[in-house]
Amino acid sequence: MFFTSKWWAIVLRGVAAVLFGLLAFSRPGITLGALIVLFAAYALVDGIFAIAAAINRTDPTGHWGFMVLRGILSIAAAVIAMTYPAMTALALLFLIAGWAIATGIVEISAAIRLRKVITGEWLMVVAGLLSIVFGVALAAYPGPGILTVIWLIGTFAVIFGGLLIGLGFSLRAKGKRVEPEIERRRAA
């Protein structure tokens, strides 16, 4: 019931990712400093929502640890990005690549552990795989330049956000099917 009742937090994470991606597309000439701030803001919001979802949990299954870990990783990436604002484009690339790979692994692990608790977990697996592929691609091909990276980041964020929005609404639909059953059991 927890995941279906907190569907909106997943949708908000997805909306934040899509907005971040669209901003990256609309301002391809953005400076490196602004990109660092945008990335840090997104990672911070993503981390806060992940930890808030874990803290506000109502399910007795104890699967909140992955959400806390994901939140901590995102907040740590935001702090590192803001602590060293003068870092080079290459360092930013590797920071984002490491963050994407780590959070992708956490997303897949969470989906595997939650497969019996939620439906639509395959969306979480796809989002995690996309995150890992994105991180590996950034690390493997750092030379194309910051403009290409901005477009890659925008594409990743829009697709990743869309998958999270899809998962959130899938959980909402499941919650609407489950709520009448819970009310019927309570009344009995």
- Residue 89 scores a pLDDT above 80: no
- Quote the pTM value: 0.51
**pLDDT, position 62:** 62
Percentage of the chain exceeding pLDDT 90: 19
**94 — pLDDT class (breaks 50, 70, 90):** confident
Compute the distance between CA of residue 16 and CA of residue 161 in angstroms, rounded to an integer. Answer: 7
Strand segments (E) across 62-143 = none
Question: Residue 86's pLDDT is what?
Answer: 61
- Among the residue ranges 53-57, 64-68, 141-145, the one predicted with the least confidence is 141-145
Contact 3, 118 (CB under 8 A): yes
- Where is pLDDT greater, at 180 or 124? 124
pLDDT surpasses 60 at 1: no
What average pLDDT does range 118-143 have in this prediction? 86
Give the pLDDT score at 188: 63
Full set of structural domains in the chain with CATH = 2-187 (1.25.40)
- Which amino acid would we find at residue 151? W
* Nearest by Cα to 3 from 125, 181, 175, 161: 175
Cα 74 from chain centroid? 9
Best-predicted range by mean pLDDT (12-16, 92-96, 110-114, 180-184): 12-16
Say which range, 3-7, 24-28, 35-39, 40-44, has the weakest mean pLDDT.
3-7
- What mean pLDDT is reported for the chain? 80
pLDDT at position 88: 53
Confirm if 150 and 30 have CB atoms less than 8 A apart: yes
